[in-house]
């Protein structure tokens, strides 16, 4: 069971891992800083506890501790119990979800072994919005995507906002970087993945006709610019989502959800 430690001093150094979460230069969840992962809210904390990201401390109000009692039963870590007022002073804003958990970042999985059992992967290039990134992970978890692979210029998937928007699924869906981007896409092809590049180009195949029943890598770019031409050229096929006249694109997380569903439907 998590050990309850009452904290009423906002300067208590034991809660430093939760401090100043809105201060960009001091955030503990920056990769170049302490390199911590922060889960926010009961559901996300529950998913952290049941993930490879084992928390080493929690900060929260008594009500949330009671709600998490069963989940924390097997953890020998401190639960820093605070009032809502003290918690707001420590984190830098009023946190209405009432509980945070913090874990250290484990090394990312190796690229090759991660693909051994995978049949469907999402590949992201330039997706630099944390909310879109979190939504893609949530969609990936719900629609059976085995892993998320990163090319260049993507946001940090373990930033607190991305973790929160994903509802903790970024802690459960494996992810790693593709080496030597975009040449590393050839490593996917060698393992039998069909590379499907999503594009609004009306001349592309429809998603329903492009996705096969074998191993598939679905490639997504940032909203606006989309995938680079170099990455598009590395794909096996370009695919579009049929849309009503007068619209030119979808939010990237929405497009990913539709692509993941089409994959589930045809696999």
Q: How confident is the model over 124-144, as pLDDT tens digits?
A: 999 999 999 999 999 999 999
Rounded-to-integer distance, Cα 195 and Cα 189, Å: 7
Q: How far is CA 209 from CA 206, 237, 255, 260, in A?
A: 5, 10, 16, 14
pLDDT at 28: 57
For residue 127, cis peptide bond before it (omega within 30 degrees of 0): no
Query: Alpha helices, DSSP H only, in the chain?
Result: 42-49, 62-67, 84-91, 111-114, 130-142, 160-165, 185-190, 207-210, 229-234, 252-266
78-81: strand order across its sheet: 3-6, 78-81, 55-60, 99-104, 36-40
Q: How far is CA 161 from CA 53, 102, 221, in A?
A: 16, 14, 20
Could you report the per-residue pLDDT of 40-58, keeping only the tens digit for each? Answer: 999 999 999 999 999 999 9
Is 250's pLDDT higher than 90? Answer: no
Is 30's pLDDT higher than 90? Answer: no
Rounded-to-integer distance, Cα 40 and Cα 10, Å: 19
Rounded-to-integer distance, Cα 219 and Cα 239, Å: 10
Could you report the per-residue pLDDT of 215-228, keeping only the tens digit for each? Answer: 999 999 988 788 99
Could you report the per-residue pLDDT of 160-206, keeping only the tens digit for each? Answer: 899 999 999 999 999 999 999 989 999 999 999 999 999 988 888 88
Could you report the per-residue pLDDT of 61-79, keeping only the tens digit for each? Answer: 999 999 999 999 989 999 9
Say how many C-beta atoms besides its own lie within 10 A of residue 76's C-beta.
Answer: 8
Burial (0-12, 13-18, 19+ Cβ within 10 Å), 12: middle
Is 211's pLDDT higher than 90? Answer: no
Confidence of residue 247 (pLDDT cuts 50, 70, 90): confident
Does residue 23 or residue 54 have the better pLDDT? 54
């Amino acid at each position: 069971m998590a050990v309850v430690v009452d904290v009423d001093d906002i300067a208590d150094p034991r809660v430093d891992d939760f401090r100043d979460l809105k201060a960009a230069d001091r955030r503990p969840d920056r990769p170049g800083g302490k390199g911590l992962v922060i889960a926010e809210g009961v559901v996300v904390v529950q998913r952290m506890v049941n993930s490879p990201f084992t928390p080493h401390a929690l900060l929260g109000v008594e009500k949330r501790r009671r709600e998490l009692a069963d989940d924390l039963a097997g953890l020998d870590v401190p639960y820093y119990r605070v009032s809502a007022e003290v918690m707001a002073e420590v984190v830098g804003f009023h946190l209405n979800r009432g509980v945070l958990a913090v874990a250290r970042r484990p090394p990312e999985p190796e690229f090759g072994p991660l693909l051994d059992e995978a049949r469907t992967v999402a590949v992201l290039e330039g997706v630099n919005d944390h909310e879109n990134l979190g939504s893609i992970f949530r969609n990936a978890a719900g629609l059976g995507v085995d892993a998320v692979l990163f090319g260049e210029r993507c946001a940090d998937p373990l930033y607190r906002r991305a973790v929160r928007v994903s509802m903790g699924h970024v802690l459960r869906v494996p992810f790693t970087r593709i080496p030597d981007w975009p040449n590393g896409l050839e490593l996917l092809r060698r393992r039998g993945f069909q590379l499907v590049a999503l594009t609004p180009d009306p001349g592309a195949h429809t998603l329903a006709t492009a996705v096969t029943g074998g191993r598939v890598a679905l490639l997504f770019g940032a909203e606006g610019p989309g995938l680079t031409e170099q990455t598009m050229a590395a794909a096996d096929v370009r695919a579009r989502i049929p849309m009503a006249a007068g619209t030119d694109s979808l939010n990237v997380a929405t497009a990913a959800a539709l692509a993941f569903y089409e994959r589930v439907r045809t696999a």
